[in-house]
Amino acid sequence: MQHYPDAKAVVRALSPDEPVILNRPHAAARAARFFVEKFPGKSLYAVKANPSPDLVKILWDNGVTHYDVASIAEVRMVRSVLPDATLCFMHPIKAPGAIREAYRQHGVKTFSLDSVEELEKIVEACRDENGNAATDLRLCVRLRVSSEHAALSLAAKFGCDLTEAPALLQVARQHADWLGVCFHVGSQAMSPFAFVQALDRTRAAIAEASVVIDMIDVGGGFPSIYPGMEPPPLEDYFQIIHQHFYALPIAYNAELWCEPGRALSAEYSSLVVKVEKRRGDELYINDGAYGALFDAAHVDWKFPVKPLEDDLIKPDMDFAFYGPTCDDADYMPGPFALPEDIQAGDYIEIGMLGAYGAAMKTGFNGFGEAISIDVEDEPMASLYRGDRDRPATDNVVNLR
Protein backbone atom coordinates (compact mmCIF):
# COMPACT_ATOMS: atom_id res chain seq x y z
CA MET A 1 0.00 0.00 0.00
CA GLN A 2 1.18 3.52 -0.81
CA HIS A 3 2.04 5.95 2.00
CA TYR A 4 1.84 9.75 2.04
CA PRO A 5 1.99 12.41 4.75
CA ASP A 6 -1.54 13.71 4.17
CA ALA A 7 -4.35 14.30 1.67
CA LYS A 8 -2.67 17.28 0.01
CA ALA A 9 0.41 15.20 -0.69
CA VAL A 10 -1.79 12.55 -2.31
CA VAL A 11 -3.46 15.10 -4.58
CA ARG A 12 -0.15 16.70 -5.58
CA ALA A 13 1.41 13.33 -6.40
CA LEU A 14 -1.50 11.60 -8.12
CA SER A 15 -4.06 14.18 -9.31
CA PRO A 16 -6.58 11.32 -9.01
CA ASP A 17 -9.67 11.12 -11.21
CA GLU A 18 -11.23 8.48 -8.94
CA PRO A 19 -12.00 8.82 -5.22
CA VAL A 20 -9.17 7.92 -2.86
CA ILE A 21 -9.70 6.32 0.55
CA LEU A 22 -7.15 7.56 3.07
CA ASN A 23 -6.47 5.16 5.94
CA ARG A 24 -4.82 6.09 9.23
CA PRO A 25 -3.61 2.92 10.97
CA HIS A 26 -2.28 4.93 13.89
CA ALA A 27 -5.76 6.34 14.60
CA ALA A 28 -7.37 2.89 14.66
CA ALA A 29 -4.58 1.57 16.88
CA ARG A 30 -5.09 4.42 19.33
CA ALA A 31 -8.86 3.83 19.46
CA ALA A 32 -8.32 0.12 20.11
CA ARG A 33 -5.89 0.77 22.96
CA PHE A 34 -8.33 3.26 24.48
CA PHE A 35 -11.13 0.69 24.68
CA VAL A 36 -8.86 -2.14 25.78
CA GLU A 37 -7.36 -0.05 28.57
CA LYS A 38 -10.36 1.97 29.74
CA PHE A 39 -13.57 0.04 29.16
CA PRO A 40 -14.20 -1.95 32.37
CA GLY A 41 -14.78 -5.21 30.54
CA LYS A 42 -14.23 -6.84 27.16
CA SER A 43 -14.54 -4.95 23.86
CA LEU A 44 -15.76 -6.78 20.73
CA TYR A 45 -15.21 -5.00 17.43
CA ALA A 46 -18.47 -4.85 15.43
CA VAL A 47 -17.06 -5.91 12.07
CA LYS A 48 -20.01 -4.58 10.05
CA ALA A 49 -18.82 -1.01 10.67
CA ASN A 50 -15.77 -1.63 8.51
CA PRO A 51 -14.85 -5.19 7.45
CA SER A 52 -11.40 -4.27 6.18
CA PRO A 53 -8.97 -7.13 6.89
CA ASP A 54 -6.23 -4.54 7.41
CA LEU A 55 -8.29 -2.77 10.06
CA VAL A 56 -9.24 -6.02 11.78
CA LYS A 57 -5.54 -6.91 12.02
CA ILE A 58 -4.65 -3.46 13.43
CA LEU A 59 -7.27 -3.85 16.15
CA TRP A 60 -5.99 -7.33 17.00
CA ASP A 61 -2.41 -6.06 17.21
CA ASN A 62 -3.58 -3.46 19.71
CA GLY A 63 -5.41 -5.76 22.07
CA VAL A 64 -8.89 -6.40 20.62
CA THR A 65 -9.33 -10.18 20.79
CA HIS A 66 -13.11 -10.58 20.34
CA TYR A 67 -15.13 -9.77 17.20
CA ASP A 68 -18.86 -9.28 16.70
CA VAL A 69 -19.63 -10.94 13.37
CA ALA A 70 -23.08 -10.61 11.79
CA SER A 71 -22.88 -12.96 8.80
CA ILE A 72 -21.10 -16.12 7.74
CA ALA A 73 -19.05 -14.02 5.32
CA GLU A 74 -17.76 -11.94 8.24
CA VAL A 75 -17.07 -15.13 10.19
CA ARG A 76 -14.98 -16.51 7.32
CA MET A 77 -13.10 -13.25 6.76
CA VAL A 78 -12.13 -12.65 10.38
CA ARG A 79 -11.21 -16.28 10.95
CA SER A 80 -8.96 -16.23 7.86
CA VAL A 81 -7.17 -13.11 9.09
CA LEU A 82 -7.16 -13.92 12.82
CA PRO A 83 -7.04 -17.68 13.47
CA ASP A 84 -6.98 -17.19 17.25
CA ALA A 85 -9.67 -14.53 17.61
CA THR A 86 -12.90 -15.18 19.52
CA LEU A 87 -15.82 -14.76 17.15
CA CYS A 88 -19.34 -14.02 18.41
CA PHE A 89 -22.25 -14.40 15.99
CA MET A 90 -24.38 -11.53 17.28
CA HIS A 91 -26.99 -11.22 14.53
CA PRO A 92 -30.25 -12.40 16.18
CA ILE A 93 -31.59 -14.06 13.01
CA LYS A 94 -29.32 -16.49 11.20
CA ALA A 95 -29.62 -19.16 8.54
CA PRO A 96 -29.26 -22.71 9.93
CA GLY A 97 -26.39 -23.38 7.52
CA ALA A 98 -24.56 -20.28 8.71
CA ILE A 99 -24.91 -21.34 12.35
CA ARG A 100 -23.75 -24.86 11.53
CA GLU A 101 -20.66 -23.71 9.61
CA ALA A 102 -19.76 -21.10 12.20
CA TYR A 103 -19.96 -23.64 15.03
CA ARG A 104 -18.42 -26.68 13.35
CA GLN A 105 -15.81 -25.14 11.05
CA HIS A 106 -14.87 -21.84 12.70
CA GLY A 107 -15.18 -22.55 16.40
CA VAL A 108 -17.93 -20.05 17.10
CA LYS A 109 -19.65 -20.80 20.42
CA THR A 110 -21.39 -17.49 21.15
CA PHE A 111 -24.71 -16.74 19.44
CA SER A 112 -27.35 -14.09 20.08
CA LEU A 113 -31.10 -14.66 19.77
CA ASP A 114 -34.34 -12.85 20.46
CA SER A 115 -36.95 -15.61 20.12
CA VAL A 116 -37.64 -19.22 20.98
CA GLU A 117 -37.59 -20.02 17.25
CA GLU A 118 -34.01 -18.77 16.95
CA LEU A 119 -33.00 -20.69 20.06
CA GLU A 120 -34.38 -23.90 18.59
CA LYS A 121 -32.59 -23.19 15.32
CA ILE A 122 -29.24 -22.75 17.10
CA VAL A 123 -29.69 -25.89 19.19
CA GLU A 124 -30.55 -28.00 16.14
CA ALA A 125 -27.78 -26.59 13.94
CA CYS A 126 -25.12 -27.29 16.57
CA ARG A 127 -25.97 -30.95 17.19
CA ASP A 128 -23.19 -33.41 16.46
CA GLU A 129 -23.30 -36.20 13.87
CA ASN A 130 -25.05 -38.48 16.37
CA GLY A 131 -27.76 -35.96 17.11
CA ASN A 132 -26.42 -35.00 20.53
CA ALA A 133 -26.99 -31.43 21.66
CA ALA A 134 -23.99 -29.14 22.05
CA THR A 135 -22.90 -28.61 25.64
CA ASP A 136 -20.64 -25.59 25.09
CA LEU A 137 -23.06 -22.99 23.70
CA ARG A 138 -22.74 -19.42 24.94
CA LEU A 139 -26.12 -17.82 24.29
CA CYS A 140 -27.05 -14.14 24.50
CA VAL A 141 -30.69 -13.07 24.70
CA ARG A 142 -31.15 -9.72 22.98
CA LEU A 143 -33.49 -7.30 24.73
CA ARG A 144 -35.23 -4.48 22.90
CA VAL A 145 -34.38 -1.10 24.46
CA SER A 146 -34.99 2.54 23.63
CA SER A 147 -32.94 4.42 21.03
CA GLU A 148 -34.16 7.86 22.11
CA HIS A 149 -30.64 9.14 22.81
CA ALA A 150 -29.19 7.86 19.52
CA ALA A 151 -28.80 9.58 16.16
CA LEU A 152 -29.89 6.37 14.40
CA SER A 153 -32.48 4.09 16.00
CA LEU A 154 -31.97 0.34 16.27
CA ALA A 155 -35.10 -0.29 18.32
CA ALA A 156 -37.43 -1.66 15.64
CA LYS A 157 -35.84 -4.70 14.04
CA PHE A 158 -34.34 -6.86 16.79
CA GLY A 159 -34.81 -7.65 20.45
CA CYS A 160 -37.49 -9.29 22.56
CA ASP A 161 -39.87 -7.20 24.63
CA LEU A 162 -39.43 -6.93 28.36
CA THR A 163 -42.57 -9.02 28.82
CA GLU A 164 -41.08 -11.84 26.70
CA ALA A 165 -37.52 -11.74 28.03
CA PRO A 166 -37.93 -13.65 31.35
CA ALA A 167 -39.43 -16.74 29.72
CA LEU A 168 -36.86 -16.69 26.93
CA LEU A 169 -34.02 -16.40 29.45
CA GLN A 170 -35.39 -19.38 31.35
CA VAL A 171 -35.58 -21.65 28.33
CA ALA A 172 -32.23 -20.44 26.95
CA ARG A 173 -30.59 -21.21 30.31
CA GLN A 174 -31.49 -24.89 29.80
CA HIS A 175 -29.41 -25.04 26.60
CA ALA A 176 -26.58 -22.67 27.51
CA ASP A 177 -23.29 -23.46 29.15
CA TRP A 178 -23.02 -19.68 29.58
CA LEU A 179 -25.91 -17.21 29.35
CA GLY A 180 -25.86 -13.50 28.65
CA VAL A 181 -28.15 -10.57 28.02
CA CYS A 182 -27.36 -8.11 25.23
CA PHE A 183 -28.95 -4.98 23.79
CA HIS A 184 -28.18 -2.04 21.52
CA VAL A 185 -29.10 1.55 22.41
CA GLY A 186 -28.80 2.77 18.80
CA SER A 187 -25.98 4.19 16.72
CA GLN A 188 -24.23 7.37 17.84
CA ALA A 189 -25.75 7.55 21.33
CA MET A 190 -25.22 11.14 22.44
CA SER A 191 -25.77 10.60 26.17
CA PRO A 192 -24.41 8.01 28.60
CA PHE A 193 -27.89 7.81 30.09
CA ALA A 194 -28.95 5.73 27.10
CA PHE A 195 -27.19 2.86 28.84
CA VAL A 196 -28.83 3.57 32.20
CA GLN A 197 -32.29 3.05 30.74
CA ALA A 198 -31.19 -0.12 28.95
CA LEU A 199 -29.54 -1.57 32.05
CA ASP A 200 -32.66 -0.82 34.09
CA ARG A 201 -34.70 -2.92 31.65
CA THR A 202 -32.05 -5.61 31.83
CA ARG A 203 -32.31 -5.66 35.62
CA ALA A 204 -36.07 -6.10 35.47
CA ALA A 205 -35.83 -8.99 32.98
CA ILE A 206 -33.20 -10.85 34.99
CA ALA A 207 -35.01 -10.38 38.29
CA GLU A 208 -38.23 -11.85 36.92
CA ALA A 209 -36.45 -14.73 35.16
CA SER A 210 -34.51 -15.73 38.31
CA VAL A 211 -31.74 -17.43 36.33
CA VAL A 212 -27.97 -17.18 36.59
CA ILE A 213 -26.56 -14.63 34.15
CA ASP A 214 -22.89 -14.93 33.17
CA MET A 215 -22.51 -11.90 30.92
CA ILE A 216 -24.00 -8.49 30.15
CA ASP A 217 -23.28 -7.09 26.69
CA VAL A 218 -24.15 -3.39 26.42
CA GLY A 219 -23.69 -3.49 22.63
CA GLY A 220 -22.55 -0.56 20.55
CA GLY A 221 -23.74 3.01 20.25
CA PHE A 222 -20.51 4.60 21.44
CA PRO A 223 -20.24 7.83 19.46
CA SER A 224 -17.65 9.63 17.38
CA ILE A 225 -17.37 13.34 16.59
CA TYR A 226 -19.19 14.84 13.62
CA PRO A 227 -20.32 18.39 12.80
CA GLY A 228 -23.16 19.24 15.15
CA MET A 229 -22.55 16.11 17.25
CA GLU A 230 -20.06 16.64 20.07
CA PRO A 231 -20.54 13.76 22.51
CA PRO A 232 -19.41 13.65 26.13
CA PRO A 233 -16.09 11.91 26.80
CA LEU A 234 -16.26 8.15 26.40
CA GLU A 235 -14.96 7.79 29.95
CA ASP A 236 -18.37 9.11 31.08
CA TYR A 237 -20.08 6.26 29.24
CA PHE A 238 -17.70 3.70 30.70
CA GLN A 239 -18.15 4.96 34.25
CA ILE A 240 -21.92 4.99 34.21
CA ILE A 241 -22.05 1.52 32.60
CA HIS A 242 -19.66 0.19 35.23
CA GLN A 243 -21.72 1.59 38.10
CA HIS A 244 -25.00 0.12 36.87
CA PHE A 245 -23.48 -3.20 35.86
CA TYR A 246 -22.50 -3.92 39.46
CA ALA A 247 -26.06 -3.25 40.62
CA LEU A 248 -27.46 -6.07 38.46
CA PRO A 249 -28.60 -9.42 39.93
CA ILE A 250 -25.96 -11.47 38.11
CA ALA A 251 -23.29 -14.05 38.89
CA TYR A 252 -20.43 -12.75 41.03
CA ASN A 253 -17.98 -13.50 38.20
CA ALA A 254 -20.20 -12.23 35.36
CA GLU A 255 -18.43 -10.49 32.49
CA LEU A 256 -19.18 -7.08 31.01
CA TRP A 257 -18.94 -6.74 27.22
CA CYS A 258 -19.43 -3.98 24.67
CA GLU A 259 -19.49 -3.97 20.86
CA PRO A 260 -17.98 -0.72 19.52
CA GLY A 261 -18.05 -0.39 15.75
CA ARG A 262 -18.19 3.29 14.86
CA ALA A 263 -16.05 4.29 17.84
CA LEU A 264 -13.21 1.98 16.76
CA SER A 265 -13.31 2.66 13.04
CA ALA A 266 -14.63 6.18 12.31
CA GLU A 267 -11.26 7.88 12.65
CA TYR A 268 -9.52 5.25 10.52
CA SER A 269 -10.55 6.60 7.11
CA SER A 270 -11.36 9.73 5.15
CA LEU A 271 -12.08 10.25 1.46
CA VAL A 272 -10.60 12.48 -1.24
CA VAL A 273 -13.12 13.47 -3.92
CA LYS A 274 -12.84 15.66 -6.99
CA VAL A 275 -15.30 18.39 -7.96
CA GLU A 276 -16.47 17.65 -11.49
CA LYS A 277 -18.89 20.58 -11.82
CA ARG A 278 -20.27 23.48 -9.84
CA ARG A 279 -23.84 24.75 -10.20
CA GLY A 280 -24.46 27.61 -7.79
CA ASP A 281 -24.31 26.14 -4.31
CA GLU A 282 -24.22 22.56 -5.60
CA LEU A 283 -21.03 20.62 -6.22
CA TYR A 284 -20.96 17.52 -8.42
CA ILE A 285 -18.34 15.18 -6.96
CA ASN A 286 -17.07 11.73 -7.92
CA ASP A 287 -18.43 9.79 -4.93
CA GLY A 288 -21.87 9.81 -3.38
CA ALA A 289 -24.96 8.00 -2.19
CA TYR A 290 -23.98 4.69 -3.80
CA GLY A 291 -20.42 5.02 -2.61
CA ALA A 292 -18.82 5.97 0.67
CA LEU A 293 -21.32 8.80 1.26
CA PHE A 294 -24.41 6.62 1.69
CA ASP A 295 -25.15 8.09 5.13
CA ALA A 296 -24.77 11.67 3.90
CA ALA A 297 -27.54 11.00 1.38
CA HIS A 298 -29.90 8.59 3.07
CA VAL A 299 -29.80 9.64 6.74
CA ASP A 300 -28.66 13.24 6.26
CA TRP A 301 -25.39 12.62 8.08
CA LYS A 302 -23.01 15.56 8.36
CA PHE A 303 -19.36 14.80 7.71
CA PRO A 304 -16.47 17.24 8.18
CA VAL A 305 -14.96 18.56 4.95
CA LYS A 306 -11.94 20.62 3.99
CA PRO A 307 -10.58 21.89 0.67
CA LEU A 308 -7.23 20.60 -0.57
CA GLU A 309 -6.34 23.62 -2.75
CA ASP A 310 -4.00 26.33 -1.50
CA ASP A 311 -5.38 29.11 -3.72
CA LEU A 312 -8.92 29.26 -2.32
CA ILE A 313 -9.15 32.58 -0.48
CA LYS A 314 -12.84 33.46 -0.14
CA PRO A 315 -14.91 32.80 3.01
CA ASP A 316 -16.85 29.59 3.44
CA MET A 317 -20.39 29.11 2.21
CA ASP A 318 -22.75 26.15 2.45
CA PHE A 319 -22.85 23.63 -0.39
CA ALA A 320 -24.82 20.51 -1.22
CA PHE A 321 -23.27 17.60 -3.12
CA TYR A 322 -24.42 15.50 -6.06
CA GLY A 323 -22.71 12.16 -6.59
CA PRO A 324 -21.52 10.75 -9.93
CA THR A 325 -24.39 8.40 -10.86
CA CYS A 326 -27.38 9.17 -13.09
CA ASP A 327 -29.76 8.87 -10.14
CA ASP A 328 -31.37 12.00 -8.65
CA ALA A 329 -31.26 10.25 -5.26
CA ASP A 330 -27.48 10.58 -5.44
CA TYR A 331 -27.78 13.82 -3.50
CA MET A 332 -26.28 14.92 -0.20
CA PRO A 333 -27.92 18.07 1.22
CA GLY A 334 -25.25 18.78 3.82
CA PRO A 335 -24.71 21.62 4.29
CA PHE A 336 -20.98 21.31 3.70
CA ALA A 337 -19.03 24.49 4.42
CA LEU A 338 -16.33 25.14 1.82
CA PRO A 339 -14.67 28.25 0.33
CA GLU A 340 -16.97 30.29 -1.89
CA ASP A 341 -14.49 30.16 -4.78
CA ILE A 342 -14.25 26.36 -5.03
CA GLN A 343 -14.63 25.16 -8.63
CA ALA A 344 -14.54 22.13 -10.90
CA GLY A 345 -11.16 20.42 -10.76
CA ASP A 346 -10.65 21.15 -7.06
CA TYR A 347 -10.30 18.42 -4.46
CA ILE A 348 -12.05 17.96 -1.12
CA GLU A 349 -11.26 15.71 1.81
CA ILE A 350 -14.30 14.28 3.62
CA GLY A 351 -13.48 13.02 7.10
CA MET A 352 -14.63 10.42 9.62
CA LEU A 353 -15.68 7.86 7.00
CA GLY A 354 -14.00 4.82 8.53
CA ALA A 355 -17.32 3.69 9.98
CA TYR A 356 -19.78 2.45 7.35
CA GLY A 357 -18.51 4.79 4.62
CA ALA A 358 -15.79 2.78 2.95
CA ALA A 359 -17.70 -0.42 3.79
CA MET A 360 -20.83 0.58 1.87
CA LYS A 361 -19.38 1.50 -1.51
CA THR A 362 -21.12 -0.16 -4.46
CA GLY A 363 -20.46 -0.43 -8.18
CA PHE A 364 -23.80 1.05 -9.20
CA ASN A 365 -23.80 2.75 -12.61
CA GLY A 366 -20.18 1.74 -13.14
CA PHE A 367 -18.85 3.97 -10.37
CA GLY A 368 -17.25 2.91 -7.11
CA GLU A 369 -13.60 2.38 -7.99
CA ALA A 370 -11.29 3.76 -5.33
CA ILE A 371 -7.72 3.18 -4.29
CA SER A 372 -6.65 3.04 -0.65
CA ILE A 373 -3.63 4.88 0.65
CA ASP A 374 -2.15 5.14 4.14
CA VAL A 375 -1.52 8.65 5.46
CA GLU A 376 0.28 9.83 8.56
CA ASP A 377 -1.64 12.93 9.65
CA GLU A 378 -4.41 13.10 12.24
CA PRO A 379 -8.11 12.53 11.51
CA MET A 380 -10.27 15.65 11.33
CA ALA A 381 -11.64 14.95 14.81
CA SER A 382 -10.69 12.54 17.57
CA LEU A 383 -11.99 11.31 20.91
CA TYR A 384 -8.65 9.76 21.74
CA ARG A 385 -5.91 12.40 21.45
CA GLY A 386 -6.58 13.87 24.88
CA ASP A 387 -6.89 17.41 23.48
CA ARG A 388 -10.64 17.99 23.87
CA ASP A 389 -11.28 20.86 26.27
CA ARG A 390 -14.54 20.18 28.10
CA PRO A 391 -15.43 21.99 31.35
CA ALA A 392 -15.86 20.04 34.59
CA THR A 393 -19.51 21.07 34.69
CA ASP A 394 -20.03 19.00 31.54
CA ASN A 395 -19.19 15.82 33.43
CA VAL A 396 -22.54 14.04 33.35
CA VAL A 397 -21.67 11.25 35.78
CA ASN A 398 -19.87 13.27 38.45
CA LEU A 399 -16.61 11.38 38.19
CA ARG A 400 -14.36 11.57 41.24
Residues 225 and 310 in one domain: no
Residue 388, domain member (yes or no): no
Q: How far is CA 115 from CA 110, 118, 166, 220, 250, in A?
A: 16, 5, 11, 21, 21
Residues 188 and 126 in one domain: yes
Q: Which stretches of the chain are DSSP H helices?
A: 7-14, 25-38, 53-61, 72-81, 96-106, 116-125, 165-173, 193-209, 234-245, 262-265, 294-298
Residue 154 has a pLDDT of: 61
Q: What's the rounded Cα separation, in Å, for the pair 65 and 60? A: 6
Residue 389, domain member (yes or no): no
CB neighbours of 246 closer than 8 A, spacing ≥ 6?
none
Residue 131, domain member (yes or no): yes
What are the DSSP calls for 186-229, one per residue?
-EEE--THHHHHHHHHHHHHHHHHT----EEE--S-----BTTB
Residues 201 and 72 in one domain: yes
Residue 390, domain member (yes or no): no
Residue 387, domain member (yes or no): no
Residues 233 and 302 in one domain: no
Mean pLDDT highest for which of 181-190, 259-268, 321-330? 259-268
- CATH code, 73: 3.20.20.10
Pairing of strands 255-258, 347-350: unpaired
Sign of the Cα pseudo-torsion (354, 27, 191, 208, in order): positive
Name the 3-class secondary structure at 329.
coil
Burial of 173 (0-12, 13-18, 19+ CB in 10 A): middle
Q: How far is CA 269 from the centre of its chain?
A: 13
pLDDT surpassing 70 at residue 81: yes
- CATH code, 362: 2.40.37.10
Mean pLDDT of all residues in the chain?
91
Final residue of a structural domain among 220, 239, 265:
265
Q: What's the rounded Cα separation, in Å, for the pair 54 and 381? A: 22
Instruction: Band the pLDDT of 52: cuts 50, 70, 90.
Output: very high
Residues 47 and 143 in one domain: yes
Residue of 81, 64, 84 lying closest to 73 (CA atoms): 81
A 10 A CB-CB count for 241 gives 24
pTM of the model: 0.92
Residue 242 has a pLDDT of: 94
Q: Which amino acid is residue 101, in one-letter code?
A: E
Ramachandran sector of residue 62 (left: φ over 0; alpha: ψ -120 to 50; beta: rest): alpha
Residues 8 and 36 in one domain: no
Pairing of strands 305-307, 347-350: antiparallel
Residues 134 and 240 in one domain: yes
Residue 391, domain member (yes or no): no
Name the 3-class secondary structure at 274.
strand
Residues 231 and 153 in one domain: yes
51-65, 114-128, 179-193: least confidently modelled range? 179-193
Residue 382, domain member (yes or no): no
pLDDT surpassing 70 at residue 153: no
Residues 307-346, buried b or exposed e (16+ Cβ, 10 A)? bbbeeeeeeeeebbbbbbbeeeebbbebbbebbeebeeeb
Q: Which domain holds residue 330?
A: 2-22+269-375
Residues 291 and 251 in one domain: no
Mean pLDDT of 395-400: 47
Residues 323 and 337 in one domain: yes
CB neighbours of 159 closer than 8 A, spacing ≥ 6?
92, 114, 142, 143, 144, 145, 183, 184
**What is the number of domains present in the chain?**
2
Final residue of a structural domain among 209, 235, 265:
265
Tens digit of each residue's pLDDT (9 = 90 or more) over 232-258: 999 999 999 999 999 898 988 999 999
What are the DSSP calls for 349-366, one per residue?
EE---TTTTGGG---GGG
Residues 133 and 252 in one domain: yes
Residue 36, domain member (yes or no): yes
Final residue of a structural domain among 217, 250, 265:
265
A 10 A CB-CB count for 77 gives 18
Residue 119 has a pLDDT of: 97
Residues 138 and 200 in one domain: yes
Which one has a higher pLDDT value, 13 or 147?
13
Q: What is the dihedral of CA 288, 294, 295, 299, to 10 degrees?
A: 100
